[in-house]
């Protein structure tokens, strides 16, 4: 797998840093043959890397931004992975744009703080709808957490997000958990990740 973006593809330095730790945590938690819906795939590098590293899973990348979909497609065309589906447009906040599923997992990396809260509301409602019973929602990113001092780098990131768009910003993890619970998604696990990020796992009851 090449790291050089093919024509039309975008690349992000943060993905190069976080993709391996994400693979390490996700891999053992996904059942063999899992169908995975990725919400907000961005440039598509996670989709490519995770599909390549988890050949038994079927990875469905999505995003709401048409330019981003082009980047995902450029990466996908260059990789020729049979378990990586063509990207589809999905706006987390628009229930009509979600596929029917079912999926054993929904994965969302770095969207919740870079989108208005309505996207998180749509993400929870959509995941609750498309997940299989026992299926899991994985969120990756930085959060504000009660009882845990927020790292200065995350506080600065929060400020810079809010200056770009007042509707953006790091979310309070307790608020995200309460929203998940309102959609019958049970909090299952919190995994510390490098650079003051976490993976939070929610499960649809079996
Ligand atoms: C910071 S990027 C993260 C991309 C990728 N997951 C990563 O970690 O590199 C945020 C992504 O969220 C997408 N996004 C924002 N609002 C969204 C929404 N309502 N539904 C789906 N995707 C959304 C953007 O288009 C963008 O690709």
Q: Write the pLDDT tens digit of every residue in 92-102.
A: 999 999 999 99
pLDDT band at 50 (very low <50, low <70, confident <90, very high): very high
pLDDT of residue 201: 98
Report how far residue 34's alpha carbon sits from residue 181's, in angstroms, rounded to the nearest whole number: 23
CB atoms within 10 A of CB 165: 11
Protein residues with CB under 6 Å of any ligand 1 atom: 12, 15, 39-42, 46, 63-65, 68, 90-93, 109-111, 114-115, 119
Share of the chain above pLDDT 70, in %: 99
185-199 mean pLDDT = 98
The C-alpha atoms of residue 174 and residue 8 are separated, in whole angstroms, by 39
Which residue's alpha carbon is nearest to atom 1 within ligand 1?
110
Cα of 122 from ligand 1 centre, angstroms? 13
What's the confidence (pLDDT) of residue 83?
A: 98
- CATH class entry, domain 13-203: alpha beta
CA dihedral sign of residues 97, 175, 200, 192: positive
The whole-number pLDDT of residue 183 equals: 98
Ligand 1 centre distance from Cα of residue 82 (Å): 24
Query: Can you tell me the distance from the alpha carbon of 177 to that of 124, in angstroms, rounded to the nearest whole number?
Result: 10
What pLDDT does residue 3 have?
79
% of the chain at pLDDT higher than 90:
95
Per-domain residue ranges of the chain? 13-203
Q: What is the mean pLDDT of residues 8-23?
A: 94
Dist. CA 7 → ligand 1 center (Å): 21
At 4 the pLDDT is: 86
pLDDT in tens, 76-133: 999 999 999 999 999 999 999 999 999 999 999 999 999 999 999 999 999 999 999 9
- Whole-angstrom CA distances from 49 to 14, 29, 72, 200 are 13, 17, 12, 20
Average pLDDT, the chain: 96
Minimal-distance CA residue to ligand 1 atom 14: 40
Query: What are the tens digits of pLDDT across the range 153-190?
Result: 999 999 999 999 999 999 999 999 999 999 999 999 99
Task: Give the per-residue pLDDT at 136.
Answer: 98
Question: For 135-144, what is the mean pLDDT?
Answer: 98
In this model, does residue 1 exceed pLDDT 70?
no
The average pLDDT across 50-72 equals 97
């Amino acid at each position: 797998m090449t790291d050089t973006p093919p024509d039309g593809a975008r690349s992000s330095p943060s993905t190069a840093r976080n993709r391996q730790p994400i693979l390490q945590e996700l891999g053992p938690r996904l059942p063999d043959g899992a169908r995975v819906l990725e919400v907000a795939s961005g440039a598509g590098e996670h989709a490519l890397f995770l599909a390549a590293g988890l050949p038994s899973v079927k990875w469905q990348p999505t995003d709401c931004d048409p330019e981003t979909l082009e980047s995902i497609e450029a990466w996908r065309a260059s990789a020729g992975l049979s378990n990586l589906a063509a990207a589809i447009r999905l706006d987390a906040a628009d229930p009509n744009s979600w596929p029917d599923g079912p999926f054993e997992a929904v994965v969302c990396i770095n969207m919740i703080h870079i989108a208005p809260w309505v996207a998180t509301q749509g993400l929870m409602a959509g995941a609750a709808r498309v997940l299989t019973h026992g299926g899991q929602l994985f969120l990756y990113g930085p959060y504000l957490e009660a009882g845990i001092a927020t790292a200065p780098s995350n506080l600065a990131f929060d400020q810079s997000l809010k200056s770009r768009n007042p509707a953006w910003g790091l979310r309070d993890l307790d608020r995200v958990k309460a929203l998940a619970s309102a959609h019958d998604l049970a909090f299952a696990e919190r995994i510390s990740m490098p650079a003051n990020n976490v993976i939070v796992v929610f499960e649809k009851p079996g």
